[in-house]
Structure 1
Amino acid sequence: MSDRSDMSGHLKHAMKILLALLMILILAQSAHADDWPMYMHDASRTGASDEIVEPPLELIWKYKHVEFSSSPAVSGGVVYVGSYDNNIYAFDATTGSLKWKYETGDYVTSSPAVSGGVVYVGSHDANIYALNAATGALKWKYETGDKIRSSPAVSGGIVYFISLDDYWYALDAATGALKWKYDTDYGGSGLSPAVSGGIFYGELIGDVIALDAATGVIEWKYDMNLYNSVDFLVVSGDIIYVGSNYNVGSISSDLCALDAATGTLKWKYEILEDNIELLAVSGGIVYVGSMVELYALDATTGALKWIYEPDFHLSSPLAISGDVVYVGSREIEKKWGLVEDKSEHLYALDAATGALKWKYNLGDHGIASPAISGGIVYVKSEGLFAFAPSKSEKSYSSIIFIIFSLAAGGVIFIFILYQKRKTPFKEYRAKMEEWEKKGYDVSELKEVLGDEK
């Protein structure tokens, strides 16, 4: 084979490698589409996604024909959400087109949980339903003694939830068979349980209760305060963060950081004369909010990092995406010193400083916890809204990325080509030296190779 044909072959090989490299880089440009499969993202209720969605955002679709009643869940390119018309709805996550709906016997304020191609959701008709995620067909349902307002958590093939019938439940996710139930002998709640590290966490009359997630046997309990009720449980690493509301006889709400394995108190942060309404954990920071202030605390020590004060009050649970905190906030407009109008907004705050980066007016309906998946932020307010980074932002980022990719690819291409071209000459020179030692005339070969190294 001639030197020219060798070079042609090496060139084709290098081009294939370069094209493959560029394809990998282009695919890597899109953030990993991290599902938001249940309330507050995961069974630990962290409220944080690995996916980064940076503002400014623009509305890409909305569905306003139904009064929705739960926070959305997103999995496999589909958004699932409950409603006051007794249905659970499934929408195409990109277009907002309706895929299916399933009717229960009452309101669906429980946020869906999606796992293994199945949607699990509770209803005020006292049943928890398992539906085929693609079609909405019923797989099984389990009846309890009262309404289910709690959002289920799915972990290790088990569905965990709380009913108002005094019991905490664990069901086999595949069959709906009861694995265990824990009798609180008090009354259930709408609290959504957290499950992490083989432990189920719930709240009972101001106590945080930890149960073995496989058996329902109690592991430990922590007394928050007789006068305080617990509204949020979030597990991150080896700590469970517990947010309480203050009631008569108490002067503050407490955020307690407990050892997740033993229930031992690590630190506590007091919020005077206001209830804890928001709680999420991401990147070593705990974000905890009342209606009038959002605090960022060091997750290990509880030290204050910053405080954000909205114009009126905060109104939804949190969703963390990289260095952005998404939260609902209610604003008011005044004329002549009187309140004229109130409207819900979706806020995007800088996670490091608390500074407002972007906001959007959603109307005058209540707002639920946002969900983030596939580069889109979904939120329930006066309908279901879907937001994506504005086109100008995406275009600018894409141009920068393409320029960088081409430059990097060009350097790699030249290196590969040089290496491929270099290798045969090394082989030829070695062979030439071998022949010369054996007494062959290699003068013509030397002339062809020249000074090539």
Structure 2
Amino acid sequence: MRRLLIALVALVVLAGGAASALWYYHQKTPVHNKRGSSTIEFVTTAPAVKKRPQKLIETVPWPLYGYDAARTHDPIQFKLRPPYRKIWTLRAGNIVEFPPVVGYGLVFVNQFRGRFFAVNAATGKRQWRKHFLHCAAASPAIGKDIVYQAYMQPYPCNRFPRTQRGFIAAILFRSKKRGILFHRGKVLWRFQTGAVESSPLLVNGTLYFGSWDHHLYALDVRERSHPRLRWRVDLGSEVNSSPAYANGMVYVGTDGGNLYALDARTGRVRWRSSSFSGFLHGREYFYATPTLAYGRVYIGNTDGTLYAFGARTGHLLWARHAGSYVYTAAAVWRREVIIGTYDGNLVAYNAATGDELWRHPAPAAIHGAPTVLDGLVYFSTCSGCGSHGSRHAKSGPRGTYAVDARNGRLVWTFPDGQYSPVVADSERMYLVGRTHVYGFVPASKYRAYVKKYFPRRR
């Protein structure tokens, strides 16, 4: 009997060791690579969503996370290049994990502990501030005179279980009375749901967002006083990814390792695809937001792989193992797809084939999505990101960098940053530090700018 027990114990130990070894191998080794083709589900024309009316670009230059509904992170209309001069600084008081949005002469900034700011884009002067007492890790979305912001659980922000309730808030940021324009900051309504870490997407009067309660939501927000639920769909696991939109379809990833395409009007699932990283009936997850361009869906996975799926069919067209964790959404520029990794690399791939074009080594992990601005790729490095993960996360200083989108050559640096790097309008670039937001103008325009907006400044 004793020998039998010893044998059973030895068998359990061996099985556990084998499982651990397999898990370690799975965590540390690259997943599959697959090369793509420019002749299969590749649209060579520029994404139609970039053709925004000029008047709308001037009024609402950066309305959403990722710039547009396709989340391309590439505002081709804005011509801003270094060297820069700083014109103002906003002290947010806590981490600014997701970038602000810009519209109607205001910059809307949300920090992690629930403070929400409306700042004059030209001067940095705070117009109003709200405090929602809930944690926030998402960018706002701008509608007509209303800005929408997502919130998670009440803080402390690491509170568990993760079933804490969250909400979407609709905030009236300006109104007219007797012909006079007022900046308000009035909360019109809150839509209660599970905690929301997904940056809301506003398209044609409908607000789309995911939630920790496993659902993707579509709210009709055309009526200012209250929203109407158009549909919600259970996707089987947490939805931290932010939805993207093109051609009547909404695309979103889940923590279950699945990518979904849904009919934007009805919520019907058109297709579902998965990551390579299946192991013992589990998958790593799509935290990153999809990027839509060239008839494809580009999305990074925590297994370290960038995937390209057909937007119409969901077929896997190519996959490239980029490094360790890929939390960043991709930016697209001239048939390049650009992402960052936790082991400290900014990598550009051919959008058609997935062939690597260039790789820029960064001093630390890259957590937030890169942004392309006038042919330069801006990214931030994160101090301490991924330090408790199972894969390598490069440790180093935080900062913001700009490299040439053609070859990855370093062009400009700034000694603050952490997550997402910059947003912009036609006059200014807004850089996101760890707890600050900065307004910049090109150095060549600094003197004229100060004379116009800061006449008392020397």
Give the structure-1-normalised TM-score.
Answer: 0.72
SS in 2 for 1:81: strand
Tell me the equivalent position of 1:451: none
- Residues 174 and 302 of structure 1: CA distance in aligned 2, closer, same or farther (over 3 Å): same
Letter in 1 for 2:85: E
2:123 is paired with a residue whose SS is: coil
CA distance in 1, matches of 2:447, 2:337: 30
Worse-superposed segment, 98-107 or 272-281: 272-281
- Conserved in 1, the CA contact under 8 Å of 2:218 and 2:230? yes
Quote the offset at 1:34 in angstroms: 6.7
Correspondence for 2:210: 162
SS at match of 1:133: strand
Partner of 1:198: 248
Shift of 1:140: 2.5
The Cα of 1:36 is off from its aligned counterpart by 1.2
Q: What's the offset of the Cα at 1:393?
A: 8.4
In the alignment, which residue of structure 1 is the partner of 2:149?
121
Aligned-partner Cα distance in 1 for 2:191–2:364: 42
Equivalent residue letter for 1:44: A
CA distance in 2, matches of 1:106, 1:331: 24
**Change beyond 3 A, Cα 1:34–1:102:** closer
- The change in CA–CA distance for 1:65 and 1:306 in structure 2 (over 3 A counts) is closer
Matches within 5 A, 1:74-93: 74-93=102-121
Q: Distance in 2 between matches of 1:88 and 1:208?
A: 31
> Kindly tell me: are residues 169 and 262 of structure 1, through their superposed partners in 2, closer, same or farther at Cα, counting changes over 3 Å?
same
Runs of 5+ consecutive residues of structure 1 not aligned to the other structure:
1-27, 247-252, 333-340, 396-453
Residue correspondence of structure 1 range 344-363 to structure 2 within 5 A: 344-362=398-416
Amino acid at match of 1:38: L
1:53 and 2:109 are equivalent in the alignment: no
Provide the rounded CA distance (Å) in 2 between the counterparts of 1:390 and 1:139.
41
1:61 positional shift: 0.7
Q: 2:150 & 2:59 partners in 1: Cα distance?
A: 26
Tell me the secondary structure at the aligned position of residue 208 of structure 1: strand
The 1:129–1:331 alpha-carbon spacing in structure 2 relative to 1, beyond 3 Å, is closer
Note the C-alpha offset of 1:278: 4.7
Alpha-carbon shift at residue 96 of structure 1 (Å): 0.5
- Give the match's secondary structure for 2:80: coil
Q: Deviations over 1:350-404 (max 9, x none)?
A: 1111111111112xx7333421113322132231111221137888xxxxxxxxx
Which of 62, 67, 90 pairs up with 1:63? 90
CA distance 1:123–1:269, change in 2 (3 Å): same
Q: Which one of the candidate residues 366, 370, 383 is aligned to 2:422?
A: 370
RMSD of aligned residue pairs (Cα, Å):
2.4
Distance 2:427 2:132 in 1: 31
How many correspondences in the alignment? 348
Bigger mean CA offset, 235-244 vs 81-90: 81-90
**1:272-309: per-residue Cα shift (whole Å, max 9, x none)?**
44435352112221112213111111112222221111
Between Structure 1 and Structure 2, which shows a larger proportion of helix residues?
1
Structure 1 contact 84–109 (Cα < 8 Å) conserved: yes
Q: Which amino acid aligns with 2:437?
A: L
Query: What does residue range 289-304 of structure 1 map to in structure 2 within 5 Å?
Result: 289-291=340-342, 292-304=344-356
Bigger shift: 345-354 or 314-323?
314-323
Higher strand share: 1
Q: TM-score, normalised by structure 2?
A: 0.71
Work out the CA distance in 2 between the residues paired with 1:280 and 1:200: 18
- Structure 1 residues 167, 286: CA separation in 2 closer, same or farther (over 3 Å shift)? same
For 1:301, what is the secondary structure of its paired residue?
coil
Deviation at 1:75, TM superposition (A): 1.1
User: Could you report, residue by residue, the CA deviation over 1:138-162 in whole angstroms, capped at 9, with x for unpaired residues?
Assistant: 2322111x21111101112100001
Q: 1:100 to 1:191 in 2, by over 3 A?
A: same
For residue 50 of structure 2, what is the aligned residue in structure 1? Answer: none
Distance 1:222 1:374, change over 3 A: same
Contact 2:71 2:244 in 1 (8 A): yes
Matched residue of 1:229: which SS?
Answer: coil
Deviations along 1:52-98, one digit per CA (max 9) or x if unpaired, are: 21111121110125224332111122100112342221000111101
Counterpart in 2 of 1:282? Answer: 333
In the alignment, is residue 320 of structure 1 matched against residue 347 of structure 2? no
Q: How does 1:244-263 map to 2 (within 5 A)?
A: 244-246=301-303, 253-263=304-314
Q: 1:166: how far off?
A: 2.0
Which one of 141, 165, 189 corresponds to residue 140 of structure 1?
189
SS in 2 for 1:368: coil
Q: Give distance in 2, aligned partners of 1:269 and 1:378.
A: 32
Paired residues of 1:33 and 1:375 also in contact (CA < 8 A): no
Partner amino acid, structure 1, of 2:286:
V
Partner of 2:273: 222
| Match of residue 37 from structure 1 | 63
